[in-house]
Amino acid sequence: MGTKTETLASKAAQPAPARRPRQTFYQRHEALILGGSAVVLVVAIWQACWSAGMISPLFLSGPSAIAKQFWETLRHGTLLADIRFSGLNFLIGFAIALVSGVVLGVIIGWYRKVRLLFDPFLNALYATPRIAMVPMIIIWFGVGMWSKVFIVFLSSFFPILINTVGGIRSVDPDLLRAARAFCASDWQIFKTVAIPGSVPFILTGVRQGVALGLIGVVVGEMFGGSQGVGFMVAYGGQTFATDTLFLGVMIIALAGILLTTLAEKLERRFSRWRPER
């Protein structure tokens, strides 16, 4: 009885956990407020210098000129057509790279002899600058859509493949031994141990592949194309239409920010599965 009374007394004597102070609106959105303020300030200074004639329109358009060009191309439908064309090239090329990179990465990472067989070719292709292969790809596929798709595929494929191989090879050997001790088949081990353990690594490859795939679609359209956001940038540079050039650059930058942010959120969502080093 005395012990029970002492236990209850000790529990009652323990202080209640302190409540976390409520954050203000500024604290919750500090990064957005500071970042947005910096962007607004830079754009305002840029516009003021351009309006005052301190910046030549031949070399740099002002924000108002870029906004006007945006509205004109949007009104005539050419902007949406270019974005649709580039987006389709990117989605097809990246989807092929994602599926093939993950499948081959699992096989190469799991089977040592397959890895030794493919290593020389993968190292040679990975070390070759993608831009050096663009003329050859255009010769193979022409200047149509599929040359851009293949450039996106080639740009996105290797980060996904290499990270998937790394994820498969980093699976905890104790988990593999435990699965085999219960007579699990290779497919069961893939499904319940190897693939879940590799997800954070695969998502890291996806994030890198997104960024490189966007570069690939722009490069492909700049070198051999007649439409798309990359062609818009190339055309603006060739004709000294800096408003068109900067509009294309801004579209590419916004797409990159959006897609990489989405990939980073997915990566953080599964980062707790990543094994500690």
Question: Which residue do the tokens 């031994």 mark?
Answer: 177
Provide, rounded to the nearest whole percent, the portion of the chain with pLDDT above 90.
18
pLDDT in tens, 30-83: 777 887 888 889 888 888 888 888 887 778 888 888 889 899 888 888 899 999
Q: Find, among 123, 126, 110, 209, the residue nearest to 168 by Cα.
A: 110
Instruction: Map residue 31 onto helix, strand or coil.
Output: helix
Task: Tell if the pTM clears 0.85, that is, is over it.
Answer: no
Which of 145, 165, 167 lies closest to 275, judged by CA? 167
pLDDT at 127 over 50: yes
Q: pLDDT (tens digit, 9 = 90+) per residue, 185-210?
A: 777 777 777 777 788 888 889 988 99
Q: Higher model confidence: residue 243 or residue 123? A: 243
Average pLDDT, the chain: 82
Domains in the chain (CATH in brackets) are 77-273 (1.10.3720.10)
Res 8: pLDDT? 47
Distance from C-alpha of 38 to C-alpha of 92, rounded to nearest angstrom: 36
